[in-house]
Chain A
Amino acid sequence: MGEPGEAASRAMAREGAIVPERELEFGVGAALRWSVARDLRLALRSRSELGVQLMFYVIVVTLFPLASTPERTLLAIMGPGVLWVAALLASLLSLPRLFASDFGDGTLEQIAMSPYPLPALVFGKIVAHWLTTGLPIVLLAPLLGIQYGLDATALTIVTLSLLVGTPILSLLGAIGAALTLGVRGGGSLLALLILPLYVPVLIFGAGAADAVRAGLSASANLSLLGAGLLIALVGAPLATAASVRIALD
């Protein structure tokens, strides 16, 4: 049990991991901290890639009125849905890079062999992914919502729904990313696999603003989204870790 763990620990130590003295310290917390920090550092090194993904989001959102009509009432109805669909697409675009580079240079194998719990390491990656993909979308949404003539309430609700929903997109998407690691047709295959799973998130997320527009409360939608987030927080890292091991075997 010692040897693969030691080699992997040394590799991770080179990357700045906190390598504990005793086995008891190979816990979830350490794994998480290391994983989030590393992935954030790596992502921020290619800031332009993050910028490109964000621009993709903005452009897609801008396309819909061009495709239909700039008429304000219609845009106000379409707005939340468009912001949400664009968030889905942007998420799908960014998911392959969750594991791809680590898989390519063999680091992922080292990570899987380490004594740190793999679900925790994976969860750290997902957190970093959300911080670099989902969070910028949440921050941009109010601005883009103005393009659609959404009023203050609608803007708040849409942003809130995206805040709760985009982590779910990252969590579920990670499962797909792990399943399609190194596989032909990766990106579109990933989309085909994940989009059906995204449908409930889309319905409850975009539906929140819609409910408010119809005069109802958004609390039911947001609660359901929240419940989904909790389930995904528990289930997705486990399913993703299992999928990573399958991909590595």
Chain B
Amino acid sequence: MNFLAMGGYGFYVWGAYGVTAIVIAAEIMSLRAHRRAAARLAATTPQSENSP
């Protein structure tokens, strides 16, 4: 359990690593939503006359 307690500094160490993990996860989820929305948008936009 020393791993979790981190010599008494558990709050700080896990507060740091934990928020980092949350924030990275949030970025990845947001990126996936962005990509899905962009694909949907591109799929439903009719091909313009100027394009090959």
Asked if the two chains touch in their complex, CB atoms less than 8 Å apart, one says: no
B residues contacting A by CB (< 8 A) are none
A residues contacting B by CB (< 8 A) are none
